[in-house]
Chains A and B, each alone.
Chain A
Amino acid sequence: MSEHDDHRTPVSLNGLAANDPHFQPAARNPLLVERVIALTFVVGTLLLVGFVYCFWVNAEPWTLGATMGGGLFLLGVGLVAWGKYLMPKGPFVEERHVLANSEADRNAFAAAIVERGGSVVKRRRLLAGLLGGGLGVFTIAAMFPLLRSLGPLPKGTLFHTDWRSGTYAVDITGRRVHVGDLAVGSIVTVYPEGKQETDRGQAVDQTVLLRISNEAFTTQKGRETWGPHGYIAYSKVCTHLGCPVGLYEQQLQLLVCPCHQSMFDVTNGAIPNFGPAPRPLPQLPLYVDASGYIRSQKDYDQPVGPGFWERS
């Protein structure tokens, strides 16, 4: 006689006989099911022992997951099967209680709040008003440390970069870019000298420097002197969401943003011709100094990067 037929202490019968069909296991062959479950428990436990061993000898990472995952999975399957096939199959029924209370109870509850509360507040309107005002002021007062302390105000920082008149353009290693460095169809990411390893230099000042052949280039009005010897510099910060526009297709003459595929026409003021970017990439005015180094004439003439409220 196996365990499951033996209901010595049944879950309160409540009028059901111990041999009631609802208390019988669902399995057709409980003994077989029990053996299978026992097998899953044994193998599962062995796998967990295996996990301890694998951990101990510092085995490959996948062995840890395989032993622990397999062990837990088998124990879980066995436990589910135990509940599903060997425990009372039911079904059983439970009555729902109506959640709502009687009319009288509800009225008593509402009366307590409305009458007591109402009478107190109505009679002491001044106090209620003062307390409300005090709490309101506290809310505002709490905003100062909770919000204002979090960071500085933007002020003008979003409008400027670290490019100044005469700033040398350097690559990531700090090497100044010489007019002879780039061949036509080349690209390099440049920073204002000394800023290449700062957070701001990386995030705000980053600029792509390209060398293109002059024939294909449409010079924008007012930018006649900005691109000496075919050197053109655009902000690397996408005007859509600020990703670095590092993808240059030199035959199509497109700068593409790898995040959302905005495409900027390099030969025509980096005006976007596809994708979600709303504005051209700002162009950095360049000149070549007497020693042949690439330097900036001045800062960008507009804020770089994505749009924001204060930007005109």
Chain B
Amino acid sequence: MSSDVVNTKRAKSQALGPYGKVGNALNELDDRLGVAKGGRTFMDKIFPDHWSFMLGEIALYSFVILLVTGVFLTLYYIPSTALVTYHGSYLPLDGQRVTEAFASSVNLSFAVRAGLLMRQMHHWSCDIFIGAIVVHMARIFFTGAFRKPREMNWTIGTTLLILGIVNGFLGYSLPDDLVSGTGIRIAYSIVLSIPVVGSYLGFLVFGGNFPGTAVIPRFFILHCLVIPAVILGLVGAHLFLLVRQKHTQFPGKGRTENNVVGTPMFPVFMAKTTGFLFVVAGVTALLGAFAQINPIWQFGPYEASRISYAVQPDWYMGFLDGALRIWPSWSFHSFGHTIPLEVLVPSVILPGILFNIAFAWPALERRFTKDFASHNLLDRPSNRPKRTAAGVAVLALVSMLFIASSTDVMANFFRLPLNEVLWAMRILVIISPFVAYPITWKICKELQAVKGGGKRKTTNVVTRSADGEYVATPAPVYVDDLHSELEASQVPKFIVEEPDEQNESGVRTTDR
């Protein structure tokens, strides 16, 4: 690049480059940041096409919606347990003494335009966020996408799931309504159950014995500032690693361990993914419009001696609630101390084990399979029967725990004795993984045995010759078949590899 273009204004304004004003603006940017080469590479970044790759995007875009709607809610929500007398537009609460947190939550639902929509969208997108993370995580697991070199991203993702669950619980607690207050009470008791430090921890977190006065403002800061900041940072790291390590892809024609086949970042993928962001936002808004979620005005404010039956936490906490229900009442008393195992095991140790297995899985699998190689091509789940069976077993266990969180609702719905439903869930929780594992393993083996399994089927035309002989010949590829392109033609290179240059200082430059 000639120095007079860089240095003189006149030269710049006169010399409109081959790409016009946009091109000149990009040049200005490159002068200062040196982004041209990397930018071009990024524009050419290839995204493999597969529907299951969109699951993580649902989570990402739900998080965007959570941030936008969440900022809106902070404008009207007051994180205070100071008592006020409610005189708002929801008359059945008129004159009740409530906390400012509750009063402001009801007010933002009734008195602020679009406030209820924003609150409901926030809650729905939280349910979708964590649901999408779980489904995305299952996809990563069953296809082996967590293997070297992507173990770090698996760890980050699992951390994001935990943070999502924790932050969901904190946000659910903020309105200080009857249902969420019961949840905080249970959380306090769980903290209290931790041996040795439990009571100290409980007092420090809650600023005293339950209910304390500090919990709402503290949950607010954690929910709106600390944890979202950490999630945002980890999402950034997640995406950075994704770009740096490039996508995995399913095996197929022209796809190898050493390339990525798909559509480029700009403009194709960008259009599709931006469109998908709008679709996610649209679906969330439609849910927020037509499906009522968490009607706190019907629950009323929390008072520690009030309680409603049939109260459950949000779905992502359900497995913990289910575990607490079905765990037997085995408490440990000795040496003048109590270890509340009936609380500690299901609510602290069990999730601890589950998430630690998740964190450790890539290392465990490396150790047992002795496979230390890097992998960019994905597994078909049926080709890894043991891993698939193990994953299904854990999903079965967690699902059964989740179902166990609604024993009373099931007993009521089916008019069954509560005690029998609970015992049935105890048995189901224990046996479900042991049933799910061998069945899944067998199904995988059977699928492996199917000839051409997982490959796209082609039509055969059977003709009968004059002699009465039957001949099967593959049908000609249908001209308009969208998939014929991939199969038939050679895949051209989209990026031109340039030989490494040496600049004047003799330092070797590489683009990545």
Residues of A within 8 A of B (CB): 11, 14-16, 20-22, 26, 28, 55, 58, 61-66, 68-84, 87-97, 99, 147-148, 150-154, 157-158, 172, 189, 191, 199-200, 202-204, 206, 236, 240-244, 246-247, 258-262, 272, 274-279, 305-312
Contact = CB atoms under 8 A, between A and B. Distances in A.
Contacts of A74: 282
Contacts of A91: 49, 254, 261-263, 485-486, 491
Contacts of B271: 79-80, 82-83, 87
A69 B329 contact: no
Nearest to B419: A274
Given A92-B263, A95-B259, A278-B342, A203 B209 contact: yes
B186 A261 contact: no
Given A72-B281, A203-B210, A94 B45 contact: yes
A76 B290 contact: no
A203 B46 contact: no
Given A69-B283, A94-B46, A308-B199, A242 B186 contact: yes
A76 B276 contact: yes
B208 A151 contact: yes
Given A92-B491, A151-B207, A278-B340, A65 B121 contact: yes
Residue in A64, A150, A260 with the greatest tally of chain B CB atoms within 10 Å = A260
B282 A69 contact: yes
The interface size bin for chain B is 35 or more
Contacts of B186: 241-243, 259
30 contacts: A11-B43, A14-B493, A15-B493, A15-B496, A76-B275, A79-B271, A80-B275, A92-B263, A92-B264, A92-B491, A93-B254, A96-B259, A99-B245, A151-B207, A151-B212, A191-B305, A202-B304, A241-B324, A241-B343, A243-B186, A244-B307, A258-B307, A261-B418, A276-B326, A278-B331, A278-B340, A306-B192, A308-B193, A308-B198, A311-B337
Contact of B331 (A81, A154, A307): A307
B290 A306 contact: no
A308 B492 contact: no
Most buried by B among A20, A21, A241, A243: A241
Contact of A310 (B199, B493, B495): B199
Contact of B196 (A83, A262, A309): A309
Contacts of B188: 242
B114 A64 contact: yes
Given A68-B285, A240-B343, A307-B331, A61 B182 contact: no
Contact of A96 (B246, B290, B408, B480): B246
Contact of A64 (B117, B246, B491): B117
B27 interface: no
Given A65-B285, A95-B495, A306 B336 contact: no
Given A95-B259, A203-B210, A305-B189, A80 B276 contact: yes
Given A80-B276, A261-B422, 11 more contacts: A61-B117, A63-B289, A79-B274, A79-B275, A93-B260, A202-B304, A241-B186, A243-B185, A278-B331, A307-B340, A311-B337
A21 B185 contact: no
A76 B324 contact: no
B143 interface: no
A307 B186 CA distance: 12
A203 B49 CA distance: 56
Contacts of A92: 46, 261-264, 491-494
